[in-house]
Amino acid sequence: MVDINNTHKKCNICKKEYTTIHTEVKPGETICVCNTCLETAKNNFIFICISCGEVYLRPKKQMIERIADPETKKAYMLCEDMQLIQGIDMCLHCDPAGIVEHASNQKSAQC
């Protein structure tokens, strides 16, 4: 597969600026991200929905404070200085019914 990277593509995060920077959000899924959004990623965790392209920002400090589990908290604190953009398979925006179903399945599973 030939990948030509010298073309300017629209940033998948802000959908405004054009960029040549690529980042892998999950194995096999690459998105384009501009410098402005990379700056944003220093202070925020960025999640992008692979299905519909919706972008979610979560302030790092606020999110880390809310994590109760010490191990998870440690893992996120290690990511605090990284410019992290994570891909998610679906979100509330593209599949609200699926999310609700998933949540109720989990509830009924714990007898």
Residues that bind Zn ion (CB under 5 A): 11, 13-14, 17, 34, 37, 49, 51-52, 54, 91, 93-94
Min. distance of Cβ 64 from Zn ion in angstroms? 24
Nearest to 23 by CA among 10, 34, 7: 34
User: Which is nearer to Zn ion, 11 or 25 (by Cβ)?
Assistant: 11
SS3 call for 90: coil
User: Each residue of 11-46: b (16+ CB within 10 Å) or e?
Assistant: bbbeeeeebeeebebeeeeebbbbeebbebbeebbb
User: Which is nearer to Zn ion, 67 or 90 (by Cβ)?
Assistant: 90
Min. distance of Cβ 14 from Zn ion in angstroms? 3
Min. distance of Cβ 69 from Zn ion in angstroms? 26
Nearest to 63 by CA among 83, 46, 48: 46
User: Which is nearer to Zn ion, 63 or 94 (by Cβ)?
Assistant: 94
